[in-house]
Structure 1
Amino acid sequence: MTARHGSESFFIEGEGLVNTQVGGRSGDEPDPVTDPGAAGPVAKRADAAPPFRFSRVGPRGRTVPEPLTLAIADAMTKGGGGVGDIPAGYTYLGQFIDHDLTMDATSVALGTDISPAELLQGRSPTLDLDSLYGAGPADAESAKFYEPDGVHLRTGDTIRFGPDRAKVAHDLPRVGTGNRRARRKALIPDPRNDENLIVAQTHLAMIRFHNRVADKLPAALPPAQRFRRARRSVTLHYHWLLRHDYLARVVDPALVDDVFANGRKVVQPNADPTSLPTMPVEFSVAAFRLGHSMIRPVYDWNRRFPKGIGFLDYMFQFSALGGDLGGEDRLISNWLADWRRMYDFPTGGHPGLAGPDGFNRAQRIDSLLTDPLKNLPPSTFGGGAGIPFDDRRRNLAFRNLTRASMLRLASGQQMVAKLRAEGVTVRPLTRAQILRGSGGADLSGLTAAQKDAVVARTPLWLYVLREAETGDGRLRGVGGRIVAETFHRAMEGSRFSLLRNPGFTPVHGRGTTFEMTDLLFFALGGKTGVNPLGGA
């Protein structure tokens, strides 16, 4: 069965790959991305491709035999390796960012060999927030995301449940006709942001941030000018938050500082700053899948679903893409986010906003995924209801590793060599670090030949997660460099860019500080807004 290769989420695929047979062209066929002179149908296909493109920044690697892929995937889905020090909300901010940067819209069976030139990038590979704004209110297709004034983004209301009354502007806008599932659909530019409840509530917070920023501008401004000024302010605050808050939590801060001070070495280092970036497959298929290891099996979500009750499965059920909103047409109010439980507000400069048990911490960034990710609901990847429990096609690690093999993604060792050739100092992982790690996936069950193969050519996703777990739980070395440089290039190529506005300082936070807690506090209206159900 052939299904879409893409529309995939940062975590669970929106429409996925079902056929697990490895096939396609031989390993000796030239890749049009790394071999510009390559002829044939693939090269012709690239000529006709849309302007948003994938690319390689490293060399082409080899496919990984399916038995080895499955053995590694099984080892990686034995249960999460414990909690880290990052507030759990950043897991889903990362998913929102991923959907702002990349969407593979290619139709191809899982296991089919493919090159980056053949992939269809359905999202602008910049940090322009097109997943929030679409093409803007002046565009006929995107106008539906906006209020009639052409300035504010639309929101939706929740449904009362018991003592939790209906809340205005606390759900994504939902419209539709016909069957009930159609009526549940979120009216947002990227439907993947309604895949689970946490990313849906994050997207809603971004809508409300834009609307609050627009409210602060003079009402007498012409609508087009007011919208543009609001979008510029929102985008620059977003860039600031990514640069100074998000990146430093998931990547070695010294590496981030180096990239933003001294420039890029491998991700389009000589690009015209105002040209449209491409999306490195090493980022989208490997390094930025760091968030998969951060997912918790259960969340302390709100006063109705506190510690030990907010299961990950519920987070999918009470969305419209991953579930059915609990059978309703809109979100019911008892599932509203208590953001105090997802972010550390007191440490972020907002005393008095601690959750009753503090805040959820994300799983440590390492080579282990929490148990539920071994058995994705078939509906999340278009697989149908007939795929049995524990089938490899439901294993997220297997799907990630297979996708990398399909693309002949560079190995960790190849990327070390590439970085060193470009003058980057990077320490390669040792055999022991690759095979044993530090509290991550246990590869002792591999055969001797499989162990030798993994040490010689470690799948890039596994490699960057091993780098993190054998350090301080942040990406470093190969993984840190790919992520930091891709963010830098995406920010550089954005319409409104922090890099081209070095004098910008945020005005909607605490002085010159602007973190995710500041965005939520400002966007949602203070203490009541970040905990709409009230109570402890």
Structure 2
Amino acid sequence: MPDQEPQRHRREEFVIEGEDSAARTTPPPFRFSRLGPRGRRLPEAIRTKVGRAMTDATGRGGGPPAGYTYLGQFVDHDLTFDATTVALGEAVSPADLLQGRSPTLDLDSLYGAGPADPVSALFYASDGRHLRTGRTVATPPDPAMSGFDLPRRGTGSAAARRRAVIPDLRNDENLAVAQHHAAMIRFHNRVLDTLPASTPQAARFRRARRRVVLHYQWMLRTDYLSRICDRAVVDDVFTNGRKVFEVGADPFSMPTMPVEFSVGAFRFGHSMVRASYDWNARFPGRSGSLDFLFTFSGTSGDLGGNRRLPSNWIADWRRMYRLDQAGRADLKPPTGAFNPARRIDTGLVDPLAVLPPGSFGGPGSDAFTIRANLAFRNLTRASMVRLPSGQQTADLLSASGVSSTRLTRRQIRVGSGDGASLTALTPTQLELFLDHTPLWFYVLREAELNGGRLTGVGARVVAETFHRAMEGSRHSIVRNPGWRPSLGAVDGRFTMPDLLLFAFEGRKDLLAPLT
């Protein structure tokens, strides 16, 4: 089996529409774009102080079920992949920015280019229709179990043996997103297996993928987006159309990916991450630490020294989503074991101040330095591509006819009082930051002041990007407004809990196999 190059967040190469390099001879397959003007690069001293302040902030709980944190990461990897080799902080010519993931919600991070493609064929079982599954390693008293790990290479060096055989290796950079990917594999295979027997063999994969993608989009539209954004904004975009991003675009054309979304607004999920999780019956309470979630992955860690995931780390989905609120009272989480996400705000948990180098592909010398701080890295990425400030983006929305209230200087400086403090900035640095607030920080401050949901700039950028990504997908609920889901327990409803219940056949021994 040929090696797959790990796809990690070290890559920061883009091609931005309208900013092409004259030296480029072939157009990239997918492209980034800008919604608004270029912003100002903030000095490293400011990015360092703000990054530290964000990972020192108290923050609060009270977010949606914790599973939605990692569903968002899975979606991010379905939409966008930065593919550069420049060092963090190095100025990037906009002509060097290359988008390596289809900017549509079509699950190419799950399917690759399809079973007919010679490289993507590695992701499929021998029948060319089912996706490959992985088997865990027995950890007595828990036996080895099939379907609960990602498929892995299993040969070569220790690192090569544990390498996941999936289209996007970023989905193996922490255990929580890897378990989501494994669940999506199971979802596809179950949809395939439940197609009518009359479905021609040659059409079975195509019809299964269409059904999977449409249900996935419906879940994102009606469940995920409504939990992270002001519902009024989401409803306005999906009812009345876009006002800022690719307005009037040919619905069948390939969308671009706005850098304001990929490098700014959609990084809100980092603030939802907990320092620890009540993971399963073997790792209850706070013993499912974020460090362990990195360790028991194949990209950021080494699966605890194993070639495959140990069985005692299989997810208990009852603790991550409220399956009992999807009509299954018997799947209520154990008392005190449910994990809510952290509220969306300007605070990140302390472990994100010291990311393992494997999670971002940085050199070993970056370990335990500010360059391993996730907040600093996000602020630096934005500076590298001259992302517009929050104020510039708010002004753009206003000019486009979107009713949005611009944050005041005091709101940016103080927030709700329990987010990131800007007191470490000198008066001169603070003035510059308040005049040119990085878009990511601005979006998080908006949410912090809105009870933990994206509003204003953040909600509009996210909702419009999702709308266009669905519209431009080969299978689209936006272009087919009359389509309704058929796999949920309730007609017209399909949430992430519904997806899990269907994928795991509604069986407690599959949804929580270690109980």
Are residues 340 and 383 of structure 1, via their aligned partners in 2, closer, same or farther at CA, if it must alter by over 3 Å? same
Contact 1:80 1:363 in 2 (8 A): no
Task: Output the amino acid matched with 2:499.
Answer: L
Work out which of the residue numbers 117, 138, 151 in structure 2 matches 1:160.
138
Instruction: Check if 1:407 corresponds to 2:375.
Output: no
Deviation at 1:115, TM superposition (A): 4.3
Instruction: Check if 1:496 corresponds to 2:478.
Output: no
SS at match of 2:183: helix
Task: Output the amino acid matched with 1:214.
Answer: L
Corresponding residue for residue 20 of structure 1: none
Corresponding residue for residue 522 of structure 1: 502
Instruction: Check if 1:310 corresponds to 2:310.
Output: no
**Gap regions ≥5 residues in structure 1:** 1-5, 18-30
Number of residue pairs matched by the alignment: 506
1:203-228 superposed Cα distances (whole Å, 9 cap, x missing partner): 01001000000001134533330000
Task: Output the amino acid matched with 1:59.
Answer: P
Contact 2:50 2:422 in 1 (8 A): yes
Task: Output the amino acid matched with 2:64.
Answer: I
Task: Output the amino acid matched with 1:346.
Answer: D
Q: Which moved more, 1:145-154 or 1:219-228?
A: 219-228
Contact 1:110 1:402 in 2 (8 A): yes
Contact 1:528 1:534 in 2 (8 A): no
1:246-272 superposed Cα distances (whole Å, 9 cap, x missing partner): 000111111000000011111111211
Q: How far apart are the structure 2 equivalents of 1:465 and 1:386? A: 30
Deviation at 1:123, TM superposition (A): 0.4
Report matched runs for 1:442-521 at 5 Å.
442-510=421-489, 511-521=491-501
Q: How far apart are the structure 2 equivalents of 1:388 and 1:380? A: 11
TM-score (norm 2): 0.95
Instruction: Check if 1:344 corresponds to 2:322.
Output: yes
Deviation at 1:472, TM superposition (A): 1.9
Work out which of the residue numbers 353, 356, 362 in structure 2 matches 1:377.
356
Contact 1:286 1:460 in 2 (8 A): yes
Task: Output the amino acid matched with 1:302.
Answer: N
Q: Which moved more, 1:318-327 or 1:215-224?
A: 215-224
**Gap regions ≥5 residues in structure 2:** 1-5
Spell out structure 1 runs of 4+ moving beyond 6 A: none
Q: How far apart are the structure 1 equivalents of 2:367 and 2:456? A: 39
Contact 1:341 1:359 in 2 (8 A): yes
Work out which of the residue numbers 87, 104, 107 in structure 2 matches 1:109.
87
1:424-472 superposed Cα distances (whole Å, 9 cap, x missing partner): 1110111111001112101122111112111111110000000000012
SS at match of 2:330: coil
Contact 1:95 1:199 in 2 (8 A): yes
Corresponding residue for residue 345 of structure 2: 366
1:382-429 superposed Cα distances (whole Å, 9 cap, x missing partner): 33333452x111111111101101111100110111111111111011
Contact 2:284 2:337 in 1 (8 A): no
Task: Output the amino acid matched with 1:485.
Answer: E
Q: How far apart are the structure 2 equivalents of 1:313 and 1:111? A: 26
Corresponding residue for residue 197 of structure 1: 175
SS at match of 1:473: coil
Report matched runs for 1:182-221 at 5 Å.
182-219=160-197, 221=199
Identity of aligned residues (%): 60
SS at match of 1:498: coil
Deviation at 1:180, TM superposition (A): 1.6
Q: How far apart are the structure 2 equivalents of 1:66 and 1:331? A: 39
Q: How far apart are the structure 1 equivalents of 2:389 and 2:24? A: 24
Corresponding residue for residue 3 of structure 2: none
1:342-381 superposed Cα distances (whole Å, 9 cap, x missing partner): 0112223321212112520111100011001111112322
User: Cα RMSD (Å) of the superposition?
Assistant: 1.8
Work out which of the residue numbers 68, 71, 93 in structure 1 matches 2:71.
93
